[in-house]
Chain A
Amino acid sequence: MNNIALGKYIPLNSFVHKLDPRTKIIAMMFLLVAIFIPVGFTGYGIIGVFLIIALILSKLSFSFVWQSFKPTLFMLVFLLAINMFIIKTGDILLTIGTFNLYSGAVIQTVYIVLRLLLMIVITTMLTATTKPLDLTMGLEDLLSPLAKLNVPTHDIAMMISLALRFIPTLLEEAQRILKAQASRGVDMESGSFKEKIQAILSLIVPLFVSSFQKADDLADAMEARGYVVGAKRVRYKQLKFTFSDFITLVAVIGILVGLILLKVL
């Protein structure tokens, strides 16, 4: 559970951490679009340099990002293999028996690898430098125009933050149940398929029961403290758009516009 780097928040004090979550979400979306503007290696180079600078500013280690990337390696080898057989453009680089390897296949594969690498770096940077709750708040703010269309953006945000709040609590609970069942002789690791299913059920059923109890209690606690679904409330945490945010957005928009111009011209 703990060695999954993708989506994990790393508490550091850096320029990127301190950016407004809205800025980071918008920057992420623009950069993802930019990746798909087909201007070849120049484009990937520009985005890559920008991301390396951002990565240094975020104080995240390169090995951390590498960890997020590692799980996709297998898929890349697979893609490479398929491309070698399918793509038959460009020069022949290599001939083995009746099989020809074309330069087009290699370039296409490198493109996919680069694109994937950039996408993973971008999303990892967003989740590693932004607390889940701030992310929710940023999303709520960005989606707030939808509230005018009667989309309950605030309630959705509240639901997501409560879910995030209770993940550690439920994990703790699961561990407790696991221990309790193990002490009664339930074996999670070995046994036949049927025994394994039974073992998992012995974890899931109590976990469900206790989750419903928790949800009931939580609803009472929230209501007793004056929460009314859909009612007006004052938000304690406020997002602040600063000069750093302005600079970041200008840079990202610069990249996006630059790449579009490169493509069109």
Chain B
Amino acid sequence: MSKAIEVKNLKYRYSDDSLTIDDISFSIEKGSYTTIIGHNGSGKSTIAKLLLGLLEKQSGSILIDGIELNYENLDQIRNKIGIVFQNPDNQFIGSTVRDDIAFGLENHCVEREKMDPIIESFAKKVNMTDFLESEPTKLSGGQKQRVAIASVLAMDLKIIVFDEATSMLDPTGKREINRLIKELHEENEITIISITHDIEEVAQSDNVLVIDNGRLAMSGSPEKVFSKEKVMVKMKLDIPFVYKLGNSLRAKGVKVSNTLDLERMADEVCQYILKK
């Protein structure tokens, strides 16, 4: 598999004080589902904005789908990578759902005759067909986020960044959006980068990047990251209960595997007791 994103020695500071992003390097496989975790203010959103060229990197390099991001080819980059932000209201640009999905198409100079079919097919994909003429004030947060996703999808992108896209939603909205993201990932082979506080989502991802104070503290599979419980606790990051249990059991000499599956853990514990 080739790389969707390659970041090398990325540095960024907002003003004269300390580096907000301090020499971060990582790469993301095409078609993978990567989660980024880290406590508030660690620099996650800054990384997302740097990847999209919304902030200008100060040193290092960013390759998006093999193309080096610089200020001459931003339009090319934005044909490849899109973003869904946290606040549903502040990214709703059009005055209706239809206009909002059209906005990106207008910018990418899609032919006018082709816009309606595109808008309708993506509204259907996110289950918003009945709301095409609705204004944003008449929609719930979850519905607005679905529109934001449709707007990004309509631009035919290969990589989508979600910056805490569900953190302002109620539990139902959260569940809906998470399911939709997973569906998109599985059906369309879109590379997903999700900045999140939801440990269930992290546990299900292919790859985790842990950001702490502008540095990449850890990266790898969720199993690998969650097995470093002490480091995680030190960074004030939560890990799923099953991992905590597994870690404690292993510390006591009970040989259980690193799994998120509680049933499997129970079986292994029983087997261990039987063997003893």
Interface residues of A (CB under 8 A from B): 133, 161-162, 164-165, 168-169, 172, 213-214, 217-218, 220-228, 231-238
Chain B residues, CB < 8 A from A168: 135-137
Given contacts A168-B136, A226-B104, 15 further A-B pairs with CB under 8 A are A161-B95, A165-B93, A169-B89, A214-B89, A218-B93, A220-B49, A222-B93, A224-B52, A224-B54, A225-B152, A226-B155, A234-B105, A234-B109, A234-B110, A235-B106
Q: When the two chains form their complex, are residues B91 and A221 in contact, meaning their CB atoms are under 8 A apart? A: yes
- Residues of chain B within 8 A (CB-CB) of A217 are 85, 87, 90-91
Q: List 30 A-B contacts (CB under 8 A).
A: A165-B94, A165-B95, A168-B137, A172-B137, A213-B90, A214-B87, A217-B87, A217-B90, A218-B93, A220-B54, A220-B85, A221-B85, A221-B90, A221-B93, A222-B103, A224-B82, A225-B78, A225-B107, A227-B103, A227-B107, A228-B107, A231-B107, A234-B105, A235-B106, A236-B105, A236-B106, A236-B112, A236-B115, A237-B99, A238-B112
Q: How far is the CB of B126 from chain A (nearest CB, A)?
A: 16
Q: Does B83 count as interface, using CB distance less than 8 angstroms?
A: yes
Contacting pair B102 A236 (CB below 8 A): yes
Asked if B130 CB lies within 8 Å of chain A CBs, one says no
Q: Which residues of the other chain, B, contact A236 by a CB distance below 8 angstroms? A: 99, 102, 105-106, 112, 115
Cβ B90 vs Cβ A225 within 8 A:
no
Please report the number of residue pairs spanning A and B whose Cβ atoms sit closer than 8 angstroms: 85
With A172-B137, A221-B85 already in contact, the answer to whether A162 and B109 are too (CB < 8 A) is: no
Min C-beta distance of B92 to chain A, whole Å: 8
Q: Which of A225, A231, A235, A238 contacts B93 (CB 8 A)?
A: A225
Contacts of B145 in A (CB 8 A): none
**In the assembled complex, which residues on chain B have CB atoms less than 8 Å from the CB atom of A162?**
93
Shortest beta-carbon distance from A137 to chain B in Å: 11
Q: How far is the CA of A22 from the CA of B185 in the complex (A)?
A: 45
**Would you list which residues of chain B between 104 and 128 have a CB under 8 Å from chain A?**
104-112, 115
Contact at A218–B90, with CB atoms within 8 Å?
Answer: yes
| Residue with the highest number of chain A CB atoms closer than 10 Å, among B49, B92, B93, B102 | B93
Interface residue? B200 (CB, 8 A): no
Q: Are B90 and A234 in contact (CB under 8 A)?
A: no
**A120 to B136, alpha carbons, bound, how many Å?**
31
A226 touches which one: B94, B99, B107 (CB < 8 A)?
Answer: B107
What class of interface size applies to chain B in its complex with A?
35 or more
Are B93 and A214 in contact (CB-based, < 8 A)?
Answer: no
> Which residues on A sit within 8 Å (CB–CB) of B110?
234
A218 to B135: give the CA distance in the assembly, Å.
17
Are B104 and A225 in touch, CB under 8 angstroms? Answer: yes
**Contact of B107 with A233 in the complex, beta carbons under 8 Å:** yes
A225 to B154, CA, bound (A): 10
- Decide: A233 near B75, CB < 8 A? Known: A169-B136, A214-B90, A224-B54: no
Q: How far is the CA of A165 from the CA of B97 in the complex (A)?
A: 12
**Once the chains bind, are B75 and A228 in contact (CB under 8 Å)?**
yes
B151 at the interface (CB under 8 A from A): yes
CB distance from B10 to the nearest CB of A (A): 18
For B148, the closest partner residue in chain A by CB is: A221
Given A164-B95, A168-B135, A236-B105: A225 and B75 interface contact (C-beta under 8 Å):
no
What residue in chain B is nearest A223 (Cβ atoms)?
B54
B109 in contact with A233 (CB, 8 Å): yes
| Complex: A225 Cα to B87 Cα, angstroms | 16
Residue of B nearest to A173 (CB): B89
Output the residue of A225, A232, A234 with the most chain B CB within 10 A: A225
Mask: chain B, 128-151; 1 = CB below 8 Å from A; 0 = not: 000000011100000000000001
Which among A214, A224, A232, A235 is the interface contact of B83 at CB below 8 angstroms? A224
A238–B116 CA distance with the chains assembled, in angstroms = 12
Check A133–B54 contact: CB distance below 8 A. no
Q: Across the interface, do A169 and B91 meet the contact criterion of CB distance under 8 Å? A: no
Distance of A169 Cα from B75 Cα, bound (Å): 30
Q: Could you say which residues of chain B place their CB within 8 Å of the CB of A172?
A: 137
A164 nearest in chain B by CB position: B95
